[in-house]
Amino acid sequence: MQIVEKYLAAWNERDTGARRAAVEAAFDPAAAYKDPLMQGAGHEGLEAMIGAAQGLFPGHRFELSGAPASHNDMLRFSWTLGAPGADPVARGTDIAVLAADGRLASVTGFLD
């Protein structure tokens, strides 16, 4: 699914300006994200949250794990976080609600 690729691109973008553009491409302006460790809302809040997460895991990237599943306006996909060429340091599954324009309206993350 293209929206999952946009979502992961936002999480992997290190340049602040490019990350903001990636967040805007993936998320509705009123979107919210929440997982057990962090949360953010709106483009500015989401971009800052992602930047903070990147600071905790320098050199690591999010990768899609398996195939996304969707129905109606719901989307589920799993991911891994790791340094290139190394075993993942984290795995998780995200549940998202899609906005009318196909961007993400909300994302709830679960850490495996």
Say yes or no to pLDDT of 1 above 80.
no
pLDDT at 41: 98
Entry pTM:
0.95
Q: Where are the alpha helices (DSSP H) in 13-103?
A: 16-26, 42-56
The alpha-helical segments, DSSP class H, found in 27-112 are 42-56
Residue of 89, 20, 24 lying closest to 61 (CA atoms): 89
pLDDT, tens digit, for every residue of 5-43? Answer: 999 999 999 999 999 999 999 999 999 999 999 999 999
Domain segments of the chain as ranges? 2-111
Reported as a single tens digit per residue, the pLDDT across 43-91 is 999 999 999 999 999 999 999 999 999 999 999 999 999 999 999 999 9
Q: Match domain 2-111 to its CATH number in 3.30.1120.130, 3.10.450.50, 3.90.1150.10, 1.10.3720.10.
A: 3.10.450.50
